[in-house]
Amino acid sequence: MWRGSTLQVIAAVVLPLTLLLVGISFSSFYIHQNAMRSMVGERDERSVRAAASALEAEINHRADTIHSLALLAGDGSTENLNRALADSSYLLDDFNLGLSFFSPDDALLAYTGDEKFWKTTPLQVDADNITTLVVDGKPVILVSSGTPKGNVVAVGAFSAANILQMVLEKDFPENGNAAVYVFDPEFRILYQSGPGTLESEPAHHPGIVEALNGKSGATYMQTGTDEHVLAYSPIPAIGWAIIIEESWHAVANPTLQTTQITPMILVPALLLAVLALWFGAEQIVKPLRSLEAKAAKLAWGDFKEIELPVQGIAEIRHLQVELAHMARQVQAAQQSLHTYIGAITQGQEDERQRLARELHDDTIQSLIALKQRAQLTRLSLPKDTPLQSLTELETLTEQTIENLRRIIRALRPIYLEDLGLVAALEMLVNEAGQSSQLKIEFHKSGLEKRLAAEVELALYRMMQESLNNILRHARATQASIQIEFTAQALHLRVKDNGVGFEVPKSPAEFTPKGHFGLVGLYERAQLIGAGLEITSTPGKGTQLSIYMPTKTSILEE
Instruction: Give the mean pLDDT of the chain.
Output: 79
3-state secondary structure 244-284: EEEEHHHHHHHHHHHHHHHHHHHHHHHHHHHHHHHHHHHHH
Q: Would you say residue 61 has pLDDT above 60?
A: yes
How far does the chain reach from its first CA to its final CA, in angstroms?
67
Residue 211 amino acid letter: A
Q: Would you say residue 345 has pLDDT above 80?
A: no
Distance CA 492, CA 80 (A): 61
pLDDT of residue 1: 38
pLDDT of residue 33: 72
Backbone phi and psi for residue 479, each to the nearest 5 degrees, phi listed first: -150, 160
Residue 88 amino acid letter: S
Look at the domain 420-556 and name its fold. Heat Shock Protein 90 (3.30.565)
**536 DSSP β-pair partners:** 542
Candidate from 45-59, 396-410, 472-486 with smallest mean pLDDT: 396-410
Average pLDDT rounded to a whole number, residues 445-454: 85
pLDDT of residue 551: 66
- Using one digit for the tens of pLDDT, what is the confidence trace for 369-384? 887 887 778 777 777 7
pLDDT of residue 326: 78
Q: How confident is the model at residue 482 (pLDDT cuts 50, 70, 90)?
A: very high
pLDDT of residue 514: 63
pLDDT of residue 512: 66
Please give the C-alpha separations between residue 299 and each of 179, 341, 370, 524, in angstroms, as whole numbers. Answer: 50, 19, 56, 17
Q: Where in the chain is the domain with CATH 3.30.565.10?
A: 420-556
Q: Which of 89-93, 173-177, 261-265, 519-523 has the highest mean pLDDT?
A: 89-93
- How would you class 470 by CB atoms within 10 Å of its CB: exposed for 0-12, middle for 13-18, buried for 19 or more? buried
pLDDT of residue 6: 45
Candidate from 100-104, 158-162, 330-334, 398-402 with smallest mean pLDDT: 330-334
Q: How confident is the model at residue 245 (pLDDT cuts 50, 70, 90)?
A: confident
pLDDT of residue 360: 67
Q: Quick check: 299 and 506 in contact, CB under 8 A?
A: yes
Q: Would you say residue 277 has pLDDT above 60?
A: no
Q: How confident is the model at residue 301 (pLDDT cuts 50, 70, 90)?
A: low
Q: How confident is the model at residue 388 (pLDDT cuts 50, 70, 90)?
A: confident
Q: Strands 489-496, 226-235: parallel, antiparallel or unpaired by DSSP?
A: unpaired
Average pLDDT rounded to a whole number, residues 360-369: 78
Please give the C-alpha separations between residue 158 and each of 107, 202, 241, 300, in angstroms, as whole numbers. Answer: 20, 25, 19, 55
More confident of the two residues 219 and 278: 219
**154 DSSP β-pair partners:** 101, 145
Output Rg (C-alpha) for the chain, integer angstroms.
36
Candidate from 208-217, 284-293, 333-342 with smallest mean pLDDT: 333-342
Closest listed residue to residue 543, CA positions, set 454, 487, 447, 478: 478
Closest listed residue to residue 126, CA positions, set 148, 110, 142, 109: 142
CB hemisphere CA count around 509 (13 angstroms): 8
Q: Quick check: 61 and 53 in contact, CB under 8 A?
A: no
Q: Is the dihedral of CA 305, 308, 310, 315 positive or negative?
A: positive
Average pLDDT rounded to a whole number, residues 13-35: 69
Q: Would you say residue 453 has pLDDT above 70?
A: yes
Distance of CA 413 to the CA centre of its chain: 35
Element containing residue 190 per DSSP (H, E): strand 189-193
Backbone phi and psi for residue 176, each to the nearest 5 degrees, phi listed first: -85, 175
Q: Would you say residue 556 has pLDDT above 60?
A: no
pLDDT of residue 269: 62
In the chain, the percentage of residues whose pLDDT exceeds 70 is 78
Q: Would you say residue 5 has pLDDT above 60?
A: no
What is the DSSP secondary structure assignment for residue 231, as one 8-state letter?
Answer: E
For 215-218, which contacts have Cβ atoms below 8 Å and span 24 or more sequence positions?
216/45, 216/48, 216/49, 216/52, 217/45, 218/41, 218/42, 218/44, 218/45
Q: How confident is the model at residue 8 (pLDDT cuts 50, 70, 90)?
A: very low
Q: Would you say residue 99 has pLDDT above 90?
A: yes
Distance CA 141, CA 98 (A): 11
pLDDT of residue 552: 53
Q: Would you say residue 348 has pLDDT above 80?
A: no
Other Cβ atoms less than 10 A from the Cβ of 168: the count is 19
Closest listed residue to residue 243, CA positions, set 187, 170, 316, 314: 187
Q: Quick check: 334 and 543 in contact, CB under 8 A?
A: no
pTM above 0.95, yes or no: no
Average pLDDT rounded to a whole number, residues 181-188: 86
Candidate from 28-37, 225-234, 253-262, 449-458 with smallest mean pLDDT: 253-262
